[in-house]
Amino acid sequence: MKLPKDIKEARKIQETLRKKVKIIPLKKVPNFIAGVDAAFFKDEDKVIGVAALYKYPEMILIEDSFAITKASFPYIPGFLSFREGEAIIEAIKGLKTKPDLILFDGQGIAHPKGMGIATHIGALLDIPTIGCAKSRLVGEYKEPRPKKGDWSPLRYNGKTIGAVLRTKDNVRPLFISPGHKIDLKSSIEIVLV
């Protein structure tokens, strides 16, 4: 993953990658899905990326992997991919079995530039990705009803960019958005399994 030297270069990288992003129906049902996330060591400039691979749709854990990298880019809202991405990519590469789809704790196209971490890394690796965030970054929505599977559209600049989805009865909804090589309908179906 190419790390930018400054915010101007980071914007250019996002613009270049955005041209590669495809929001299309999922071509085939995945056999293996990875869930990924990153965290920071307290008082250190290191990032740990983790990946857990599951057999789908049974959701049986097959293997996991982690990688520790230096945080070489500062925290700047909207540019999280440059801070966490390298560790996450290394954790994905550490899996013995290649995932058919990756779920990210973060945004897909529900991002000011349409380039959340799921979209960014999905375009880099050319693999279907979904953003599953606990909070909204952009957009407007109405609260979905309280039952599992209830959802409402997340809209931004006149377009539907995601779904506000209840994954269980009476819990806070997640903000789901396609990342790359998947559409919203397929993203919702995958997350609800």
Domain ranges in the chain? 7-134+176-183
CATH top-level class of 7-134+176-183: alpha beta
Confidence check: pLDDT of 1 > 80: no
With cut-offs at 50, 70 and 90, classify the pLDDT of residue 29: very high
For 12, 41, 70, 107, 166, the CA distances from 46, given in Å and listed in that order, are: 25, 6, 4, 22, 33
Pairwise CA distance, residues 3 & 130, whole Å = 22
Confidence check: pLDDT of 188 > 80: yes
With cut-offs at 50, 70 and 90, classify the pLDDT of residue 16: very high
Percentage of the chain exceeding pLDDT 70 = 100
Pairwise CA distance, residues 193 & 189, whole Å = 7
pLDDT digits (tens, 9 = 90+) for 143-184: 999 999 999 999 999 999 999 999 999 999 999 999 999 999
pLDDT at 46: 93
pLDDT at 74: 86
Pairwise CA distance, residues 86 & 1, whole Å = 6
